[in-house]
Structure 1
Amino acid sequence: MGQEKASVQFVKGAAILGIAGLVSKLLGAVYRIPYQNIAGDIGLYVYMQVYPLYTALLILATAGFPIAISKIVSERVAVGDAIGARRAFRVASISLVVLGIFFFLLLYGGAPIIASMMGDEHLITPLRAVAWSLPLVPMAAILRGYFQGHQNMMPTGVSQVAEQFIRVIFILVAAFWAMNVYQDPYLAGTGAVFAAFPGAIAAILVLLWYWRADKKMGQLSMGQVQQSSVQPWTNRQILRHLLTYAVPICMGALVLPLVPLVDSMTVVNILQWSGTPEDLAKLLKGAFDRGQPLIQFGTFFATSLSLALVPAISEAVAQRQHQLISHRSEVAIRLTFLLGLPASFGLALLAEPINVMLYGDSNGTEALAVQSFTIIFATVSIASAGILQGLGRVMRPARNLFIGVLVKLILNLALVPFWGISGAAVSTVLAYLVAMGLNVLAVIKYTGANIGFRQTVKKPFVSVVVMSIVVLIVEWLANTVLASAGLSNRLFYTLVGLIAVALGALFYLLALLKTGGLTRSDIQFLPKGKRIASLLTKYKLLPAEKARMNEKEA
C-alpha cells in the first residue's frame, strides 16, 4: 500500500514538474517575438549575444544541484537521519551561494574581456547586468531541491512559472521604456538580460512562502531522530555525494546552450573579418536570431513527449519488457518525425510571410528558411535523448550533442565567410543532424528498435509533398487575389501565412491518414488518443478495417 502511494506521488510530482517546465518553455519561446518588435534586430542581437553565456554559467552553478539535494535529503530522511538531511541542506546552501558569488565576480569582472571576444565593446554593461542574478538563482535551486527531497513538487513547479512570468513581463516593459524614452536598443537589451534578477527574486519569494506554509518543513520528529541508529553523515561526506550526483548532470545540461553560444562568439566576428561593417554585422546577427523562438516552438511537442518518455521507458526497463521498450521507442521517433517534418517544410516555404507577420520585415528570410530544417532534426534528437535517458544512458545524448557543437563551430568558421548568416544557419542544421543521427543509432543499438524506412520516412514524405503543393497554391492564389486589396504589407503576409498554415496542416493530416503514415496505434500513443482515433473513424478519416487490423497488431 505504501509502495502504491509512493508510486502515485511520484507520477503526480513528475506531472507537476512536466507541466511547469512546458509552460516555462512556452513563455520562453514566445516572448522574444514581441521583444524584437519593440527593440528591433539590434535589441535581439544584444540579448542573444549575452544570454547563452549566462545560461551556461547558470547551468554550471545550479543544473544538477536540485536533483542532487533532493536525492541526498530523501535518502537521509528514509533512513531516519534527520540531522543528515538538515546538514545536507546547509552544506549545499553554502556551496551553491559561494559558487554563485564566484560566477558573479567572474562575469562582472571579466565583462570587458568577454565583450572584446564577442567583437562588441558595448556589451560590457549587458554582461554585467545579467551577472547580478547569479548569486540569487542558486538559492532558488537549493530550496527546490529540498522540497523535491520531501516529495513535494508543487513549490518547484509554481516557482518556475512565477520566475519565467515575472522575467517576461520585466523584459517587455524594460524594452518598451528603453526604446520609447531613449531609443537605445543596447539599453533595451540590458533591461532584458537584467530581468533574470527580478525573476529569481520572484522564485525565491514563492519558495519561501511554501517553506513558511509547510509546518513540517525542516521539523522532523526528535523521537524519530533518537530511535534511528544510523550514523549521521559528516559535512565532507555530504559534499562528496553532492558533487558526485550533481557534476555529471551539470556537464550533460551544459551542452544545450553551447550551440547559441558558438554563434555569440563567432558570427559577428567572422562577418567583420570578412569585410562586413560592424553595424551591419550586428543587424545581420539580430536577423539570424529571429529563427530561435520559431525553432523552440517547433520542437515544443518533442519536449513534451520526451518528458513522458523518460518515465515510460524507465518503467519498461524496470519490468524488463524489452519488446515494449522497442515499440515505444519506434512510435516516439516516428511521431516526432511526423510532426517535425511538416514544421520544417512549412516554415521553409512560408519563411517570408511568417517573418514579415511576426517581425515586421523580411530581413534574414533566407537564413530563417534554412534554419527551419533544424526543427526536424532537433525534434527527433530530443525524443531519442528522452529514450536514452529512460534507459539510464544519461550522458550519451550530451556527448552526441557536444559532437554536434564541434561540427557547428568548424562549419561556422568555414561557411560564414562565404554565405554569411545563411552559412551559420546551415551549420546549425548539420550540427543537429549529426546529434540526431548519433542518438538514433544509439537507440537502435540499445533497444533493438526497427525504424522502418517505408512507414517512418517514405509515407510522411509523400504527405509533406502534398502539403507543400497546397501551400504553394495558397501563396499563388493569395498573391493573385489579395495583392490588389490595398492591405498593408504585414497584414497581407499575416493572412497568407495563417491561411497557408491552416490548409497545409489539414491536407498533411489527410494525406497521412490516406497513405497510412499515421495509424491507430500511433494516435493512441498521444494524449486523448483513443478519443481522437474514434472521432477519425466516425468521420471515415481512419478506415474501420484498418483500425481493427491495427488493434490486432497492437
Structure 2
Amino acid sequence: MKKHTFIQGTLIMMIVGMIVKILGLLNRMLISRLLTDEGVGIYQMVMPTYLLLITLAQLGFPVAISKLISENNIYHKHQNRAIVLNAVKISIINSAILINILIFSAKFLAVNLLNDERTFLPLLALTIFIPLVSFTSILRGYLQGYKNMSIPSIAQLIEQVFRITSCVILIIILLPISVELAVVGIIISLSIGELSSVIYMLYKIKNKRPWNTFLFSRDERIIDDNLTKDILSISIPSTGSRLIGSIAHFFEPIIFSIALMSIGYSNLEVTNIYGQITGYTLTLLLVPSFFSFALSQPLLPIIAEAYAERNHTKISHYFNLSIFLSFIIGLLFTIIVSLYPNDLMKLFFNTTEGTRFLIYMAPLFIIFYFQQPISSTLHALNKTKHAVISTFIGSALKLLLIYTLTSRENINVHGLNIAIIANVYFVTLYDYYLLTKNIKINYNFRTIVQCILLGIFTVILGLIFKKVSLPYYISILVLTIVYLFILQVLNIGDFQKIRGQLFNHPHNK
C-alpha cells in the first residue's frame, strides 16, 4: 500500500481539506440563504446532538486503529485485518445501542431540553447516520495506519459533493412543506454523503493486498477478545476527551437558552442569535481547522511509530514542525479575518449578522489552530488520559461561564463567546504543558522573531490596502502572495527545506 512522507501526507490532506472546507462553506451559504435565520437556528440547535453522536459512534476508532496498525507494522503481533474486524464487531454493538437510545429520547430532548418541538424529526433522522459514520471511521483509521492519506482525503471530497448536492435537492423539495422538514432533508444529506464515502473507500481498498483475504480468512482467531480489549483501551480514553467536549457542546445551547431567557430574551431571539454565533461566526473562524486536521492525521501514525522505536528526536522534530506550520497558516488567516470581517461575512453568508462577534473573537482565536496537532501528539504518546482531564476541566469551565456571564444583562449574548475563548485557551495551554513534560520542545528565537515581524508587516500592508480602498478580494490575494513569498525568500522556519520534502518519496509496500 502506498505510503506518504509527513509533508506529502499533510499537503494531500491540506489540499483536499481546503476544497472540502470551501465546499462546506458553500453548503453553509446555501443553507443560510435558503432557510433564513429561523431554519439555520433549528439546524444549529440539532448540531450539538449530531456532534455528540459522531463522537459516540466513532468511539475513537480512527485514533485506535491508526495507532495499532502503525505499531503492528513494527512488532507484527497481529494480522492487521484482525484489528479492523474486531473494531467492526464493537461498532455493530455500539451503533445498535445508540440508535435505540436516540429513538426513545428524541421527543424528550426536543421538547424539554432544546425547548423547540421542531427539532424532533431532525433528531430522529440522525439514526441513519450513526452506523455509517462508525464504519467510515474504521476505514479511515485503517488507511491512516498505513500512512495512506490520499484515499481518505478523496473520500472526504466525495462525501461533501454528495452531501451538498443532496442537501440542495432535499431543501428545494421539502421547504415548501415546512422549514422543519427542510432541516430533516439536511440531516438526511449527511447520511448520503457518509454512504458515498464508505462506498468509495471500500472500492479503493478491495484491490489492495492487505484487504484481499478479510472476508475469506479461515483463521478462527481473527476475532480475538484480547485484541478487542487493546482497541478499547485506546479508543475509550480517546473517546473520553471528545465525548466530554461533545457533551459540553450538547448542553451549550440549552444553558445559553436558559440564561438569555432569564433576562428577557424570547425563544425565537435565542435561536436566531445562537445560529449567528455558531452558524456564521464560528464557522468562519474554523476555516483553518482543515489545515490543523491535515497536520494531525499523518502526524499520529508517524509519532506512534517513533514512540514505539523510542526515537525521541524524531518525535520532537515532527511535533515542532507541525506547530510551526499551524502557526504560519493561523497567523495569515487571523490577519485577513481581522482586517476584512464584514466583507468575508457578506461573501460567505450574504449577511453581516455575526460580524460584531467576529471582530473581537478572530485575534483571540489563533491559539485554537495549535490544538489539533498537540492533541494528536498526546494520543500517539499514550497520554490520552491526561488530555481527558484537561478537556473535562475546560468544558466545565465553559458551561459555568456561559450561564454566569450570559445571564448578566451587561454581557448577555457575548457570554457564550467569552466562554468559548476561555475553553480554547485553557485546553490548549494545559495540553501543551503536558507535552513539555514528555518531549523536548526546541525554540528557535530567530524563527519566532521573524514570524512576529512578518505578521506586523502583513497587518501594515493590509491597512495600507484598506486606506487606498483596494477591493478586499485583491487585497487578500496580494497579502497571501507576499506572505508566502517572504516565507520562502527569508527561509523562515526552514521553509525551503519543508517545501523540498514534497519531492521525497518513501518506499511503497
Fold equivalence (TM over 0.5): yes
Deviations 1:398-454 (A, max 9, x none): 443333222221221122234333321222122111122112222333223244677
Match of 1:170?
166
Match for residue 243 of structure 1 among 232, 236, 243: 232
Match of 2:181?
187
Q: CA deviation at 1:288?
A: 0.9
Say whether the 8 Å CA contact 1:377–1:429 is kept in structure 2. no
Matches of 1:253 and 1:89 in 2, distance apart? Answer: 21
Question: Are 2:241 and 1:252 equivalent residues in the alignment?
Answer: yes
SS in 1 for 2:435: helix
Q: Which runs of 5+ in 1 are unaligned?
A: 1-5, 226-230, 479-494, 532-554
Distance 1:405 1:240, change over 3 A: same
Distance 1:209 1:342, change over 3 A: closer
Matches of 2:446 and 2:149 in 1, distance apart? Answer: 42
Distance 1:512 1:201, change over 3 A: closer
Match of 1:447?
439
Match of 1:464?
455
Match of 2:474?
499
Q: Which moved more, 1:505-514 or 1:338-347?
A: 505-514
Question: Are 2:501 and 1:526 equivalent residues in the alignment?
Answer: no
Matches of 2:181 and 2:434 in 1, distance apart? Answer: 46
Say whether the 8 Å CA contact 2:458–2:479 is kept in structure 1. yes
Match of 2:422?
430
Question: Are 2:314 and 1:301 equivalent residues in the alignment?
Answer: no
Matches of 1:384 and 1:152 in 2, distance apart? Answer: 21
Say whether the 8 Å CA contact 1:313–1:387 is kept in structure 2. yes
Indicate the structure (1 or 2) with the bigger Cα radius of gyration: 1
Say whether the 8 Å CA contact 1:374–1:429 is kept in structure 2. yes
Question: Are 2:96 and 1:101 equivalent residues in the alignment?
Answer: yes
SS in 2 for 1:119: coil
User: What residue identity is the alignment partner of 1:107?
Assistant: L
Match of 2:52?
56
Using CA pairs under 8 Å that are at least 6 residues apart, name the structure with larger relative contact order, 1 or 2. Answer: 2
Q: CA deviation at 1:360?
A: 1.7
Match for residue 333 of structure 2 among 296, 318, 343: 343
Deviations 1:326-377 (A, max 9, x none): 4544443344223323422431332122112222221121112233235411
SS in 1 for 2:265: coil
User: What residue identity is the alignment partner of 1:271?
Assistant: L
Say whether the 8 Å CA contact 1:470–1:507 is kept in structure 2. no
Matches of 1:10 and 1:330 in 2, distance apart? Answer: 19
Matches of 1:430 and 1:422 in 2, distance apart? Answer: 12
Say whether the 8 Å CA contact 1:67–1:145 is kept in structure 2. yes
Say whether the 8 Å CA contact 1:524–1:530 is kept in structure 2. no
Distance 1:437 1:154, change over 3 A: closer
Say whether the 8 Å CA contact 1:329–1:387 is kept in structure 2. yes
User: What residue identity is the alignment partner of 1:526?
Assistant: I
Q: Which moved more, 1:91-100 or 1:377-386?
A: 91-100
Distance 1:301 1:160, change over 3 A: closer
User: What residue identity is the alignment partner of 1:471?
Assistant: G
Distance 1:511 1:148, change over 3 A: closer
Q: CA deviation at 1:379?
A: 1.0
Q: CA deviation at 1:159?
A: 4.6
SS in 2 for 1:372: helix
Distance 1:85 1:452, change over 3 A: closer
State how many pairs are aligned. 492
Match of 2:126?
130
Match of 1:537?
none
Deviations 1:24-73 (A, max 9, x none): 56644552233222222332222222123122223212233466578599
Match of 2:116?
120
Match of 1:551?
none
User: What residue identity is the alignment partner of 1:435?
Assistant: V
Matches of 1:354 and 1:153 in 2, distance apart? Answer: 31
User: What residue identity is the alignment partner of 2:475?
Assistant: A
Matches of 1:48 and 1:27 in 2, distance apart? Answer: 18
User: What residue identity is the alignment partner of 1:113?
Assistant: F
SS in 2 for 1:171: helix
Matches of 2:397 and 2:54 in 1, distance apart? Answer: 24
Which structure 2 residues correspond to residues 127-526 of structure 1 after superposition, within 5 A? 127-141=123-137, 159-179=155-175, 181-182=176-177, 184-206=178-200, 209=203, 216-218=212-214, 232=221, 236-237=225-226, 239-255=228-244, 257-258=246-247, 260-289=249-278, 290-314=280-304, 316-317=306-307, 320-323=310-313, 325-373=315-363, 375-418=365-408, 419-451=411-443, 455-456=447-448, 459-478=450-469, 496-506=471-481, 519-524=491-496, 526=498
Matches of 2:217 and 2:152 in 1, distance apart? Answer: 25
Say whether the 8 Å CA contact 1:91–1:239 is kept in structure 2. yes
**Over aligned residue pairs, what C-alpha RMSD do you find?**
4.1
Deviations 1:179-200 (A, max 9, x none): 4x34x44333221122223234
Match of 1:545?
none
Say whether the 8 Å CA contact 1:348–1:372 is kept in structure 2. yes
Matches of 1:298 and 1:141 in 2, distance apart? Answer: 22
Distance 1:373 1:389, change over 3 A: farther
Say whether the 8 Å CA contact 1:306–1:382 is kept in structure 2. yes
Q: Which moved more, 1:94-103 or 1:406-415?
A: 94-103
User: What residue identity is the alignment partner of 2:412?
Assistant: G
SS in 2 for 1:523: helix
Matches of 1:139 and 1:329 in 2, distance apart? Answer: 29
User: What residue identity is the alignment partner of 1:439?
Assistant: D
Q: CA deviation at 1:301?
A: 2.5
Distance 1:524 1:420, change over 3 A: farther
Say whether the 8 Å CA contact 2:144–2:298 is kept in structure 1. no
Match for residue 27 of structure 2 among 11, 28, 31: 31
Question: Are 2:106 and 1:111 equivalent residues in the alignment?
Answer: yes
Matches of 1:383 and 1:145 in 2, distance apart? Answer: 17
Matches of 2:256 and 2:459 in 1, distance apart? Answer: 32
Matches of 1:150 and 1:530 in 2, distance apart? Answer: 18
Distance 1:237 1:301, change over 3 A: closer
Percentage identity across aligned positions? 22
Distance 1:206 1:463, change over 3 A: closer
